[in-house]
Structure 1
């Protein structure tokens, strides 16, 4: 196996900004970013969002440290502007439209091109970058990794509530994201050269202005020597985010090292089956019954069982990468039912008070990040 440090890992998270009192989604990103003395908070297309990026890490212990620091940093900067940060795929009750759009030319160009699709963008994801040894064909690795995207979505699902309603989905964020062109799971490519040829065709024909406009849930990154997994919801609990990043890293390494293999099914079967699996993962989370695309004959497996099967199959890879202890927490996440189930349970316990649910999500976001609930208590004392 290639040296573990060659399978680097980095994470991007998108946080909601919510009012410290009403919990409504607030367009305060430029002010929160100006307050941040570290320079680590980044803008996004809509000003209700701030983004953070970890360092390029050699393992998820580094990711854990970075995300804890970044969540703390974002929370402190947000509090200075009368807001809080929330790590979840959607806001529970605020309308998606009517927020302030980032005035930067790159975002205004997207607004002009996509109109209401861009103007109603109120979803929040987590992206995981995994590095590969030099000379590795990233497109071929993606051919294998894409089969397991629904598992990562199911584990991260944290967006059952949308504009005040329970959508019935574990991840409604992923449903909203698939409205965009060039989204969903990528097709199969013969190699990196074929992928590059597609990017050139799309660019030369004016379909896109650069490879960053390919919005698939998985892609070879156009700047970094990584594959970028874009399928996950931003999830409230720090420990769950780290576990999902760990599993993503091990899946990519397992694909590159030949432990995981391509599906025996033809692409004409795989495309509709992967689409169906993605939808079912978004609908049901860990309990979703997925088509088992690793088998030649028809069969199904739950997302939870598929996750456990991956962990068992990749145990050796995880040990080599120092991720064995992290993946050992997978059964506990599955027993808890994941973030979407916890959000629904909290909404029920609070008699449907979605502002209170949103404040709870803000508390969960900084749990384990070195920041307790004293800020919230100080706020309540002034009412």
Structure 2
């Protein structure tokens, strides 16, 4: 799956320090529907207590948390959990609770109001009514890759595994009170935006800048933060961001996927030191796997582009975990990496949501009552330590 290519290694190795950004929907505890607009006092108190660690997103129901960069995923997990808990504690005073999932089972995006945040307002002007349809939540993992050329090289290589990461994170099977048949409907909604999906391949940081500067100089975008690709260089840090994942309902799942992504980057860096790299494949082929991950999650397998055959996702994941053992041990995140296999064993959030709805219907509950059971499950799992 990899071939030799003479690439001079960076003089200084990356730190691989990692940060986690999670998006949540705020749910009314009486109706279990999402709210339309965040209470001003809640926003003020969150800002006073947590500063930039918690911020509103596009829509009134959306809010996000951001950890600091950590070399230890144990410490990152601790901070991510504390942010969830602090958000929940403050929200409860207003009769609200955070829910971590790619979509809400029955919420109607037509009722949403955009936030007044200046940056987001600029996005509303560009995206028009599409911005109101973005009643979805994703997760970002940011890993420090200080050398810009290395950042681009690793982005090119890790693109192959975007579908594998998406499949394991799926948490958005429902939309507007219907089972979409997809494990990640969020990807469909988000794909309506410009500049989404897999990133192009670039030869270097200079090549990346040459292309993106065209968009900036022409006034199409303010900066590279308006590139909503599955992977992108951070606009604020010397980091490479993974953005394809649905919001993970369990914090341990978020950390496990962060470990998987982080270990992949270190693995590709080690290949670079040997003058090797992961084989490059056409975006049309990786996009087929991306679609399979979006549709089936971990159920139907992905194409092994090295052999041209569809293989069970479990086989592929076990091979990845085995391949990354050295990297996980070196970075002290072996337990977090192996949690990926546990996710596969019990099912992703999408599986658990579908199961909860089916179980409620079998027990004789109405369709609306079944949706409420799904929301209760999501609220409980969001705060499960």
TM-score where L is the length of structure 1: 0.90
Q: CA deviation at 1:169?
A: 0.7
Q: CA deviation at 1:132?
A: 1.9
1:6-155 counterparts in 2 under 5 A?
A: 6-29=15-38, 30-36=40-46, 37-39=49-51, 40-134=53-147, 137-155=150-168
Structure-2 separation of matches of 1:122 and 1:224: 27
Quote the residue 1:354 is aligned against: 371
Corresponding residue for residue 364 of structure 2:
none
Q: Does 1:228 align with 2:221?
A: no
Corresponding residue for 1:334? 344
Q: In the alignment, which residue of structure 1 is the partner of 2:271? A: 258
* Range 199-208 or range 127-136, more displaced: 127-136
> Which secondary structure does the structure 1 equivalent of 2:241 belong to?
strand
User: Would you say the 8 A contact 1:33–1:77 is kept in 2?
Assistant: no
For 1:322 and 1:22, the matched residues in 2 are separated by 43
Equivalent residues of 2:137, 2:247 under 8 A apart = yes
- Per the alignment, residue 298 of structure 2 pairs with 286
Q: Could you say which residue in structure 1 is the equivalent of 2:192?
A: 179
CA–CA distance in 1 between the matches of 2:315 and 2:144? 27
Q: CA RMSD in A?
A: 1.9
Conservation of the 8 A alpha-carbon contact between 1:17 and 1:28: no
Is 128-137 or 111-120 further displaced after alignment? 128-137
Contact 2:14 2:147 in 1 (8 A): no
Aligned residues: 362
Alpha carbons of structure 1 residues 222 and 41: separation in structure 2 relative to 1, 3 Å: closer
Question: Which residue matches 2:383?
Answer: 366
Q: Is the 8 Å Cα contact of residues 60 and 112 (structure 2) preserved in structure 1? A: yes
- Mapping 1:159-238, distance limit 5 Å: 159-238=172-251
Contact kept? 1:6, 1:58, Cα under 8 Å: yes
325-334 vs 178-187, which deviates more?
A: 325-334
Partner residue in 2 for 1:321 = 331
Does the Cα contact within 8 Å between 1:4 and 1:320 map onto a contact in 2? no
TM-score in terms of structure 2 length? 0.89
Per-residue CA shift, 1:338-358, capped at 9, x if unaligned? Answer: 111111111112224212211
Partner of 1:311: 321
Gaps of 5+ in 2: 1-8, 362-366
Structure 1 CA distance for aligned equivalents of residues 277 and 344 of structure 2: 25
Measure the CA separation in 2 of the matches of 1:79 and 1:242.
Answer: 25
Change (3 A) 1:136 1:57: farther
**Secondary structure, aligned partner of 1:137:** helix
Residue 334 (structure 1) shift: 0.8
- Quick check: 1:4–1:58 contact (8 Å CA) kept in 2? no
Q: Would you say the 8 A contact 1:315–1:324 is kept in 2?
A: yes
Give the drift of 1:41: 1.9
Q: How big is each residue's C-alpha offset from its partner over 1:7-29, in whole Å with a ceiling of 9 and x where there is no partner?
A: 10000001100111111110343
Quick one: structure 1 residues 134 and 163, their matched pair in 2 at CA, closer, same or farther if it must change by over 3 Å?
same
- CA offsets 1:55-84 (integer angstroms, 9 cap, x no match): 111021112101110110111111111111
